[in-house]
Structure 1
Amino acid sequence: MNASVGETVTITSSAIGLFGRYLISAGKNHFVSDQRAAAGGPGEAITAGELLLSSLGSCSLGLIQKNAAEQGIGLRDAATAVSFQRHATDPTRYEWIRIAVTLSGVTASQAEVLVGGFTSTCPIYNTLKRGGPVEISWTVS
């Protein structure tokens, strides 16, 4: 679901009869999400934290590819690994969030430009960064 500047995007989520299992609807897309097993849920489907990480991965790759195409940078391939660690004493926070970007077909300076394009424009990344430590790194192959 893409949002233009100023556009409101809404998803809905509903409990569906099994404790800790939810139906998520985003436009015409519907999927199941679970509460973590450690929190008493089924823990079989994607969890809220995993959805957060996947949104960072998706936003990063989308913006990196868009910027490469617009700038004529010959990006061959791109991948991300996004992770977080829960805070040891404050369950309402993450200790850290890390985004590792791997790009191929570009130079180190082009990678820096592409990753900078992501970090300067992704609202998900920037909202999270304001709330705590978010680290990003990249490698070129």
Structure 2
Amino acid sequence: MTQEALDPDVGSRASGRTEETYGRFILSSRHNHFVSDGRASQGAPGEAIFAGELLLASLVSCGLGLVHASARERGEPKPDVKLTAQFLRDINDPTRFASLTLTYEFSATARELADIYVNHFTSKCPIYNTLKRGGPIEVIVQAG
């Protein structure tokens, strides 16, 4: 059964299936397919990107995309920016993260403009805002 394509401005869909190897999964979204593994500590291969890293990667993609969109809307040149996301698990409750940190590093962008770009991200990204409403997220801006 074929599912109707979603307008990417309204919704998205991803799916996955198990692979012959325990703890290995084939994930798909639109026409893109990639491998994800469970963590080695769970008896999975632990070689391919795992779920927590996919979450971080989605935040990074949204964060960089919205920074570029903000610059374009303002008529500014495309900023040279790096975004790193990391989480730490809660040692008392492994079902949640103790922290989720996003660090923006802007090259040759004034701090005031970097803050405008990051505020655009934090006000527009549904991934970020869904996570923020459910738990603490820290955003760090580094500009120079």
Counterpart amino acid of residue 128 in structure 1: L
In the alignment, which residue of structure 2 is the partner of 1:17? 20
Partner of 1:31: 34
CA contact (8 A) 2:68 2:79 kept: no
- Residue 117 (structure 1) aligned to one of 120, 128, 132: 120
How far did 1:17 drift? Answer: 1.2
Aligned equivalent of 1:69: 72
Deviations 1:41-94 (A, max 9, x none): 110000000000000001000000110111023344011110000011111100
Task: Please name the residue that 2:143 is paired with.
Answer: 140
Q: Secondary structure of the equivalent of 2:93?
A: coil
SS of aligned partner of 1:33: strand
Gap regions ≥5 residues in structure 2: 1-5
Correspondence 1:3 to 2:8:
yes
Q: Which residue pairs with 1:56 in the alignment?
A: 59
1:2, CA displacement in angstroms?
Answer: 7.5
Q: Deviations over 1:107-129 (max 9, x none)?
A: 11111110000000000000110
- CA–CA separation in structure 2 for the residues paired with 1:40 and 1:2: 38
- For the 8 Å contact 2:67–2:118, the answer to whether it is kept is yes
Among the aligned pairs, what percent are the same residue? 42
Task: Provide the TM-score with structure 2 as the length reference.
Answer: 0.91
CA contact (8 A) 1:74 1:106 kept: no
What is the CA RMSD across the aligned residues, in angstroms?
1.4
Q: What stretches of structure 1 of length at least 5 have no aligned partner?
A: none
Summarize the Cα distance change of 1:28–1:69 in structure 2 as closer, same or farther, 3 Å threshold: same
Separation of aligned partners in 2, 1:36 and 1:25: 20
TM-score, normalised with respect to structure 1 = 0.93
Which of residues 76, 95, 98 in structure 2 aligns to 1:95?
98
Rounded Cα–Cα distance in structure 2 between residues aligned with 1:110 and 1:133: 25
Aligned partner of residue 115 in structure 2, secondary structure: helix
CA contact (8 A) 1:86 1:94 kept: yes
